[in-house]
Amino acid sequence: MVTRKLAALAAVLLTGALSLTACSNGPSNSGGSSSPADSQLNKVLKAGTLRVAVLPDFPPWAVQKSDGSFQGYEIDIAKELADSLGVKLKLVPTNGDSRLPLLQSNRVDVNISAWTATNERAQTAGFTIPYDAHGAGVLFKKGADIKSYQDIAGKSVAVARGSTNDTILTTDFPSAKPVRFDAITDVISAVKTGKVDAGLESSYTVAQAAKADSSLDAISSPPLDPQLVSMGVLQGDQVWMNYLNTFIRNLIASGEDNKLHEKWLHEPLASIVSVQGNAA
């Protein structure tokens, strides 16, 4: 487990940054917190609670159970992050459309919600170094005329509104007919009930759905358009960003990220991500 020593590191980072600020008479960054004391890191430490936006319907990354509790790969990472800070953890459900508004309205401190760090998104949100990488896969009913990714062209395809998969579908398969849902579970349900010809979701998610339901089949390897997954925060808060990047590097270097990845996704962390933990 990533130890609570990072909580001490948080205080060191904050104290050091405050000292640098006290010695500087330069202008503050108007795009973010005006001083390290205003950083989300300091606010989290003072509040004693870390508020994390997570997806409630994206197994095996994160899922909210009937009793209201959460479980999954990203839930365990959120627990590790809270533990490193020595604070309590509060999980806040989100979806593709509410990730950024939750940050902007100060209802969460960070997103750990399978948020792919695209160039377009990075224009409005801040992204850490990646802690995972994944691509898309196709889910469909057995017997459907789908043998490859290209076979979804011209077909009705369910996607989660505002997701990377929504973008992949409209960009890579312009002749497909998107059917958008707010929840990932609704995407899978639409395929099961025959409301659509197929669903485009994470390769891990479609593989798991097909394994759990004998009426379904999936194409998941190699994943379509693999991309990096990062934690998301408000832009301009470099103190908070520095801490999160340090946490992720230590999570990877300790082997804990790979351990959690194998626990929930049953395969090692992608090399493009794991190499970060060994960087000098």
- pLDDT means over runs of 10, the chain (280 residues): 43 42 38 68 97 93 94 98 98 92 96 93 96 94 95 96 90 96 92 97 90 94 89 96 97 96 91 69
- CB count within 10 Å of CB 260 equals 22
Q: 209-262, pLDDT tens digit by residue?
A: 999 999 999 998 888 988 899 999 999 999 999 999 999 999 999 999 999 999
Candidates 3.40.190.10, 1.10.10.60, 3.40.50.300, 3.30.360.10; correct CATH number of 5-133+227-278? 3.40.190.10
- Cis-peptide into 59, omega within 30 deg: no
- Torsion over CA: 41, 43, 46, 51 (sign): negative
User: What does R_g of the chain's alpha carbons equal in angstroms?
Assistant: 20
Candidates 3.90.550.10, 3.40.190.10, 3.30.1490.20, 3.20.10.10; correct CATH number of 138-225? 3.40.190.10
Query: Coil, strand or helix: which one is 198?
Result: strand
Residues 6+ apart with CB under 8 A from 271: none
- Torsion over CA: 249, 276, 231, 240 (sign): positive
pTM: 0.74
